Structure 1
Amino acid sequence: MGATIIICVTLFLITTSEQHFAALVKLQGYLIVVVYEIFMYCWFGDDVMYQNSRLATSVYTCGWPGAPQKLQKALLIILIRSQRPLGVTAGKFYRVTRETFVSLMKASYSYYALLNQMNK
């Protein structure tokens, strides 16, 4: 929520303020950095979920029938654990994925459009 508000307000300041060119460049740079930071969390959070989904298949196809009993038990534990999805969450509110990034950007633009309409 905080990132959405920051993006919204920064975009509003860039488009409506009559500041000097240097200040606008700083605001644009700040906006790019904030969006990039959120994007990186979402990209790699989604990658963690994807790799976790592949783990069960990898363990099952690794040739475990001929393996020692101790290794088979360890692989069974990994299989059971991999059934519960693993991922990064933001304050236990939502999972950090690429879809989350898109929804954050949509919400930021919606708030910006509302703020801009109220300003006019």
Structure 2
Amino acid sequence: MVVGVVDGTSEAIFQTLMSLGPSRSEWDFCFYKGSVVEHLDGHTDIVLKQLYSDWLPWGMKRRDLLLRRYWRREDDGTYVILYHLVVHKKCSPQKSYVCASLKSNVCLKFMHKKRSF
């Protein structure tokens, strides 16, 4: 389990976590590139993430992840992001990659700072 404190608005942090562009590699050291394969609805899509092999033991092939990503925002401002590995007709296995295994979810609880004067 990873817990961290990040200074920013809930919307900005959510958008940063959802991003699949090149700026993601500034904070996600494993991330090589990613793309949205298909939008399923307003809160669900299929995404492909390709990972760098630098952090893997020598000789291991690069890893990729084909994921169904679902997100929602709770009434209290908490964001929930769920990932589930999938197979998709628009994305066949690539020879230079091995499909990684992942069981993951993200729950973002935002703390509101109280200002004292």
Pick the structure with more helix per residue. 1
TM-score normalised by structure 1 residue count: 0.22
Larger Rg: 1
Larger RCO: Structure 1 or Structure 2 (Cα < 8 Å, ≥ 6 residues apart)?
Answer: 1
Pick the structure with more strand per residue. 2
